[in-house]
Amino acid sequence: MACEKANKSNINFIFVTVQSLIVKTFGYIRELFLEIIEKIIDLYIMKKLFLLLFTAFLFVGCSKDDDTIYDFIGTWAGTYEGTEKGDWNIVVATDGKVTGTMHSDQTTENYYISGYLSESGDLNATIGSPDDGEFRGTLTREDKKASGTWTNAVPATVRSGTWKGAKTSK
């Protein structure tokens, strides 16, 4: 009988020990599982936060109000009038440099145009070589129109007037 009591006591001890190990193991597994879930949620939140910030910076960086020369790059052409009349064309380069010609209907002469365009569309150019005149005005990015004034002292007396035109190609 003493042996039976000892066996029952050993079995009870083993049962309690195994039960305690199972509870502890499930406790560790539960903690590990909760930790993994917490990290997944943190990553999910970080991903959403990153996408939100990235989208915000994208819209801020691509504002339509930004003045860049890009919208003006290409060929612009039109007519001029005043004490003389004719047509003109210019090419705006990526660095804002402007080159082109004015062709007079009266004298059939071609006059070289050279200058620069600002990022806001202000044109400041000279006519002739040497620089004997001015070709100034504004190019608009919204409606792709252009207008301004001109003066030219080549070949003799000073002539002047206005010009207008539009963007014809990229």
Residues 74-121 have pLDDT tens digits of 999 999 999 989 999 999 999 999 999 999 898 888 889 999 999 999
Backbone angles phi, psi at 80, to 5 degrees: -130, 155
- Candidates 94, 136, 144, 138; CA nearest to 114 is 136
- Candidates 124, 114, 115, 127; CA nearest to 154 is 127
Both tokens of residue 36?
């993994």
The pTM (predicted TM-score) of the whole model is: 0.61
